Amino acid sequence: KRTSELIPLCHLLQLTKCTVDFELLAGNGSYAVQAQCLVKTTGKTGVEMEALTGVQIALLTIYDMCKAVDKAMVITDVHLLSKAGGKSGDFVWKQA
């Protein structure tokens, strides 16, 4: 709900839903955390920036809590998966 305070020219939106879900992925002796943020509004605008900000803040929080164990953590591949509505219409991520 504070995206407009963090990103210039981003306006305040009335959100109806905001969730962040995590999945712990293990492989080759290492671990990764996958975060996904779902944001909804009844307004006629997109909430992509709120979702992307939610994921980044969630992952930065995990980094902060785990940095004593491993400062070499990397936050990567943050992108929009899908959106519906808004001026630009619908979008679905198509992995290359």
Return the pLDDT at 32: 93
Return the pLDDT at 93: 94
pLDDT in tens, the chain (96 residues): 788 888 888 888 888 999 999 999 998 888 999 999 999 988 777 789 999 999 999 999 999 999 999 999 999 999 999 998 878 888 999 986
- Cα distance between residue 86 and residue 46, in whole Å: 5
Phi–psi pair at 61, nearest 5 degrees:
-65, -45
Return the pLDDT at 42: 86
Closest by alpha carbon to 59, among 25, 84, 36? 36
Return the pLDDT at 96: 61
Instruction: Give catalytic residues, as residue numbers.
Output: 64
Q: Which domains does the chain have, with CATH numbers?
A: 3-92 (3.30.70.640)
